[in-house]
Amino acid sequence: MSEKKSLALDAEAKRLLDFKKQNLKKKDLTPCPQCATLVNINANKCAHCTSDIGSHTRKIREELKKLDELTYQLFELHKREMELYQQEVGGKPFWLRIKDFFNEPQVLQDLKIVLPSLVSFFVLVLFLRGKAAGLVFWLVALLGGFLIYFLFKKWNLKKYITVDLYRTVLVFGLVIILVSALGSTTKFWPDISFMKSGVEVQSTAAVVRQAPNTSSDIVTTVYQGEDLKVLGKRGAWYKVRTESGKVGWLHSSVVK
């Protein structure tokens, strides 16, 4: 599409949007030109002052129809433009797409906004790993995820590295994070299981008459109110993972 035609379409779209803003109130209502009472755009007479408004409402309907047609036309043009761009980009090696990506002047400006946001988010997650888990972690992760998605959308990352690759990286990243968080026994990941599969320490002392029939360690230090992840059970003993990441057996009289 030529630049002249593009400017003409933009000007027409702006005119129609301004017309709609001035003449359309709520959904299908417009002010009567005589008494300013809101009437339906399909009405021929005002119910308040009985004046003839047929030509006025007809013009509004015609302009709104033009706006709908122009909106569809611009959507199809944008869709076609993106298809052609994807075909062009798809023929380039990945490393070349990355190089072109960082050669864009706007990218350097956007990085000043995006990178500090990403770094701050992950620093906050690491901080919460030591201070909180469960619901607090999920709330921060979700809010941070929405923030990152909004920034990436505003940054138009997929324009440079193709839509398919963008979606693939996003999905694989989420899968890796969830699998690591749910299955890891290390300290780094908090317990973010959706299902209730833990116990809470109600007493820091217990009278134990018989040790568990296992070679695994026994947890000797817990804190009252601490949430423990249950990994297994044998008789009166729970195999748990503490908030500090230690795995071992704990007597059922200590927890609730």
The pLDDT tens digits for 169-180 are 556 566 555 555
- Residue 223 gets the label, from left (phi > 0), alpha (psi -120 to 50) or beta, of beta
Residue 189 lies in a domain: no
Residue 188 lies in a domain: no
Rounded Cα distance between 183 and 177, Å, is 10
Instruction: Name the band, by pLDDT with cuts 50, 70 and 90, for residue 184.
Output: very low
Domain count, the chain: 3
Q: What is the CATH number of the domain that holds 236?
A: 2.30.30
Q: Are residues 172 and 205 in the same domain?
A: no
Check if the beta carbon of residue 12 is closer than 8 Å to that of residue 69.
no
For residue 23 the two structure tokens come to 């003449």
Rounded Cα distance between 173 and 182, Å, is 14
What b/e string do you get for 66-101 counting C-beta neighbours within 10 Å, with b at 16 or more?
ebeebeeeeeeeeeeeeeeeeeebeeeeeeeeeeee
**Mean model confidence pLDDT for the chain:** 70
pLDDT(35) > 80:
yes
Over residues 155-166, the pLDDT tens digits come to 555 455 444 555
Q: What is the reported pLDDT for 187?
A: 45
Domain containing residue 232: 198-254
